[in-house]
Each structure stands twice: as C-alpha cells, then as structure tokens.
Amino acid sequence: MTSVSRAASKFGEWVGLTGAPGFFKSENVIDLIIADHREAESLYDKYKATTDQDEKQLIANNLVKVLVKHDECEQLLVYPLLREKIGGERGEQLYERSLKEHQDHRELLYDVKCTSLKTDPEFDAKLQKAIDSVFHHVKEEEEEVLPLLREHVTEDELRYVGTSFKAHKPLTATRPHPSAPAQGYPAALANVVLKPIDMVRDMLEGH
C-alpha cells in the first residue's frame, strides 16, 4: 500500500473508500477507462440509430452522464498519477493538456444540457460537436496516455487506483459544471454539493 502513488490515492483515502474496498472487485484502472470509452461510443451509436425523439433524448442524457462521471474520476484519480509517474516537462504537458480537453468537454456538454432535442433544432449539431471533441480526446488517451501509464505504473498500483475509480463513480456529479473546480479537494467538495442537486434534476428529466 505504501508504494501506491500518493497523488492518485490521497483523494480515495480522504473519502475513506480505498481502505475498505472489499465489495469492489480490484480492476486495473486502464481497463475501467477503456470500458467507459466503449460504453460512450455504444451509446452514441444507439443515439444515431434510433429515430424516436424521446428515446434519443434519454440516450443523450445518459451519454452526457456517463461522460461527466468518467471525466470526473479521471481528473481526480488518473491525471495526478500521470503527472507524477511520467514526471518532468512531458508529465506536466500531458497533465495540462488532458485537463484542458476535459474543460472543453464540460463546456460543450453544458451547451447540450442547456437545451433539448424537442426545443432546439441545433441539438444534434451541439451533441455532435461535443462528441467529436470527446472522441478525439479518447483516441489520444488510448494511443498515448494509457500506454504510458501501463509502462510507468505497476499492475498493483493500477489496480489500487482502479478500486478508487470504481468507488468514486457513484459519488460524482452527473451533469456538466464548467465553473466547478476540476482538481483535488475543491473538486471533491464541489461534487458533494452538486451531486444531490444533479440527482433531483436528473429525476425530473426521467433518468
């Protein structure tokens, strides 16, 4: 446990979940990240495949939620690990680029959530723009960032962070909040405040 990256684990330790992960099966965080990416792609395929407007809206809502939760977990648990383990200018550059692209997603997904398929003829285009940005980032992540993590981080550490990643997922906000902090304890506290508000708004939207 002591060998685990402090940067990656400190948030998980703070929320008290990584010390008692018995009910969370240990999984490599890279596998969890890739599974989230495939889920997002599959949801977007379903969105494009259906012509039923209500179903499309529900899929879009779910897709945004999946992406927000995924980005939140990466920001808190994976990118600090990336910066620490790669180190130097390269680590810093990858860290800053990843956060910047996530901030772009927050803003684009926020534009999507401010409107709806029934009321806005531009809804499809707004979603497409957000998804294009997300999938570009996903490609970079899988081709560049994740291989570096696999190279620089031990399997035990990747599994430890995977446990935190899985444990944190249910605690995150579910809607994009472009002005909320994206890192460390301020981000964790923002999640505590925003999560219940998001849950109510999600319920009112029927998901």
Judged by CB under 5 A, the residue of 28, 72, 73, 74 near Fe ion is: 74
| Interface segment toward Fe ion; rule CB under 5 A; list 53-61, 134-142, 168-176, 190-198 | 134-142
- Give me the amino acid identity at 95: Y
198 is a site residue for Fe ion (CB under 5 A): no
Closer CB to Fe ion, 70 or 159, in the complex: 70
Token digits of residue 119: 């009321």
Count of residues interacting with Fe ion (CB under 5 A): 2
Residue with tokens 């992960």: 21
Token digits of residue 23: 């009910």
For 171, residues 6+ apart whose C-beta sits below 8 A from its C-beta are 15, 191, 192, 195
47 closest CA partner among 66, 19, 31: 66
| Interface segment toward Fe ion; rule CB under 5 A; list 87-95, 117-125, 128-136, 141-149 | 141-149
For 52, residues 6+ apart whose C-beta sits below 8 A from its C-beta are none
| Interface segment toward Fe ion; rule CB under 5 A; list 45-53, 70-78, 166-174, 196-204 | 70-78
As measured in angstroms, the least distance from the Cβ of 44 to Fe ion is 14
Where does this chain bind Fe ion (CB under 5 A)?
74, 141
